[in-house]
Amino acid sequence: MFPQEWAMSDEVRQALHNRQAVVALESTLIAHGLPYPVNQETALEAEEVIRAAGAVPATIAVLAGVPTVGLSPAQIAELARREQVRKASRRDLAAVIALQQTAATTVAATMALAAAAGIRVFATGGIGGAHRDAEPFDISADVVELARTPVFTICTGAKSLLHLPRTLEILETLGVPVLGYQTETFPAFYVGDPVPTLPVSARVETPQQAAAIFATHVRLGGGGALLAQACPAELAIPQVEFDAWLAQATHQAQVQGIGGPRLTPFLLARIAEASGGRTLQANRALIVANARLAAEVAVALTAQAAELRNPGRF
Ligand code: PSU
Ligand code: MN
C-alpha cells in the first residue's frame, strides 16, 4: 500500500477485491515509445484484448503527483497527446509524487506501483537492459526491479537496440527466470530472426505452465520473472534491415549529443522514420499480443493466488 494519496479505477479496485485477474500496463510506451495517434490506439487496443480474455486492464502513470492505477480512456488520451511528459523510472518515482508532477512510468516504475497495488501480472513491449556501447555506460533500472519485485512481466524480450547477450547475463546474475513462450530463444523485440546464442532459462507451452513457474518462484522468495514471446511473424523485421536503421539512428544521436533517459525514445523515433512506419506496426502488434498473453497468464494465476498470498510455504 502507498503511504500517501493514490488513485485506482473502480474497475480495478473491484477486480482486486474479488481476486479477479488484473493486468498492469505501462505508460512510457504511450508518452515516449510510440508517436500520436498510434500510442493512444495501441494503449486502448491492449486494454480491449485484456478484457476480451477475461481480465481487467490497469494502465499506470503518475498524474499531478498521484500514482494512478487504471487510467481512464480520457487520461490515456491526454498522456498520448501531451508533449514533454516526464519519463519516470524507479529512482524518479518519489520525486514526481512528492513534487506533484505528471510522469509516464517505465517498466521498473510500473512494476513498483503494480506490486504496491497488489497486481502480479504486467504486459509491455520490450524491457530496458544493457546498452551496446561502453561509453556512455547505461543499464536500465528495469533489470534491477525485475530482480526484487514479484511481478510477472510479459514482453517481446528486450529492445533490439540493446546488448542482448549482456542483458540476458545480467538477468541471470540477478536470479530472474526468463521464460520463453513457445520458444527456446530470447526474442529481439520486433527483429524476427531467432538468435540461437540467446537461450531462455525455460521454455513453456501454455499460460498455465508459465503461471505455475512464477508462483513457484515467488514461493521460493524470488522477485520478478519474465515471460517472452516472439513478435507476430508476419510483421517481424529482418535483422539486416534493422541493423542499418540502428547504425544511422545511433550516429544521429551522437551528432546531436543525445544520451541518458532521452536516448531510447530518440533511437526508437529515428528507426520508425527510417523504416517507413514498419517498426511502428510491429511494435503495436507485439504489445497487443503481449497484453493478450498476459491476460491468459493472469487468469491462470488466479487459480494459484492462494499460494502467492502465503509465501514461505514451499
Ligand atoms: N521498449 C519500447 N518502447 C519503450 C520502452 C521500451 O519499445 O518506450 C521504455 C519502457 O518503458 C522501458 C524503458 O522500461 O523504455 C527503459 O528506459 P531506460 O533504458 O531509460 O530505463
Ligand atoms: Mn538508462
pLDDT tens sequence across 219-258: 999 999 999 999 999 999 999 999 999 999 999 999 999 9
Taking Cα atoms as reference points, which of 126, 271, 264 lies closest to residue 189? 126
**Which residues keep their CB under 5 angstroms from ion ligand 2?**
138
Closest residue CA from atom 6 of ligand 1: 126
Say yes or no to pLDDT of 181 above 60.
Answer: yes
Catalytic residue set: 26, 159
1 found inside a domain: no
Atom of ligand 1 nearest to the CA of 33: 8
3 state SS of 155:
strand
Domains of the chain: total: 1
Q: What is the pLDDT of residue 193?
A: 87
Domain of residue 133: give its range. 7-307
Q: CA 116, 121, 126 angle in degrees (round to 5)? A: 105
Closest residue CA from atom 16 of ligand 1: 128
Q: What is the CATH number of the domain that holds 198?
A: 3.40.1790.10
24 C-alpha vs ligand 2 centroid, how far in Å? Answer: 22
Q: Residues of the chain with pLDDT > 90: what percent? A: 86
Q: What is the pLDDT of residue 172?
A: 98
313 found inside a domain: no
Show the ligand 1 pocket: residues with CB < 6 angstroms. Answer: 26, 28-29, 32-33, 89, 106-107, 125-126, 128, 140-142, 159, 261, 264, 268, 283
Residue 35 grid coordinates = 508517436
Say yes or no to pLDDT of 1 above 60.
Answer: no
Residue type, 215: A
Q: How confident is the model at residue 312 (pLDDT cuts 50, 70, 90)?
A: very low
CA 68 from chain center: how many Å?
Answer: 17
Say yes or no to pLDDT of 2 above 90.
Answer: no
205 C-alpha vs ligand 1 centroid, how far in Å? Answer: 27
107 found inside a domain: yes
- How confident is the model over 147-170, as a mean pLDDT? 95
Q: Across all residues in the chain, what is the average pLDDT?
A: 94
Q: How far apart are CA 267 and CA 38, in angstroms?
A: 17
Taking Cα atoms as reference points, which of 126, 133, 160, 138 lies closest to residue 242? 160
Q: How confident is the model at residue 114 (pLDDT cuts 50, 70, 90)?
A: very high
Q: Are 293 and 123 in contact (CB under 8 A)?
A: yes
Give the number of other CB atoms < 10 A from CB of residue 2. Answer: 12
Q: How confident is the model at residue 4 (pLDDT cuts 50, 70, 90)?
A: low
Lowest mean pLDDT among 58-67, 154-163, 172-181, 283-292: 154-163
Q: Which of 92, 105, 106 to mutate to test the pocket of ligand 1 (most atoms within 8 A of CB)?
A: 106
266 found inside a domain: yes
167 found inside a domain: yes
3 state SS of 8:
strand
